[in-house]
Amino acid sequence: MSAAGRDWRAWHDAYDDPGSSLARRLAVVRARIADTLDAAPPGPLRAVAMCAGEGRDLIPVLASHPRGPDVTARLVELDPALAATARRSAARAGLPGVQVVTGDASLTDAYNGLVPADLVLACGVFGNVSDSDIRRTVGCCAQLCATGGTTVWTRARKPPDLVPRICDWFGQEGFELSWVSDPAAGFGVGVHRLTARPRPLEAGLRMFSFAGETR
């Protein structure tokens, strides 16, 4: 269970329905992650994932992509059962560079030592927190992401549609928009590339608190 009382393990069952919005969104997120790896320069790469759940977005891509072995990743998930599933998935996929941490993804300390990263995932976060927390987290992405690195995020597009404002907030933090999903898709996926220099990681900062909507 999350701090907001939702059973996130049951929530993940929707991923198994190919026609669900979550399954369609997952396919888009995976495609954008693969695009990021395609465009990444040669050499070691770093990735971090907030509220990573079972790792369904990142782990399968790393398992099948030629750049997967180059990636050192940290997936942070509060729910012990979901984190254990992600850990097993990474092991089965033969990804020793993937570390799954059972911990509070809202704290900047959770990413210390692996940022600034080439890929930052904030999927399933912005639909569960207040607007002010989204704004704060966007600002923190400029601490987590390396120059030239990519942040991928999600947000439902039900009214009021906050996706355009989130894109503006990323722009204010030194990111340029690489891609955003069509409103007709019924879900929001955004991809932003940091063109500015990353700011130093602020220790002990809480980026967000879950309000219990929908990831």
User: Which tokens sit at 101?
Assistant: 């941490």
Rounded CA-CA distance 39/55 in Å is: 22
Asked whether residue 13 carries a pLDDT value surpassing 50, the answer given is yes
Mean pLDDT on 181-192: 95
Tell me the mean pLDDT in the region 187-203: 97
Q: CA 58 to CA 64: how far, in whole Å?
A: 10
Distance (Å, whole) CA 30 – CA 121: 11
Q: What percent of the chain has pLDDT over 70?
A: 89
pTM of the model: 0.92
Q: What angle, rounded to 10 degrees, do the helices at 163-172 and 131-144 form?
A: 40
pLDDT higher than 90, residue 93 = yes
SS3 139: helix
pLDDT for the residue numbered 172: 98
Going along the chain from its start, the domains and CATH numbers come out as 8-194 (3.40.50.150)
Judge whether residue 2 has pLDDT over 50. Answer: no
| 62-74 per-position pLDDT tens digit | 999 999 999 999 9
Please give the mean pLDDT across all residues of the chain: 92
What is residue 173's predicted lDDT score, i.e. its pLDDT? 98
Distance CA 34, CA 61 (A): 6
In this predicted model, which residue has the larger pLDDT, 88 or 8? 88
pLDDT bucket at 3, cuts 50 / 70 / 90:
very low
177 strand-pairing partners: 192
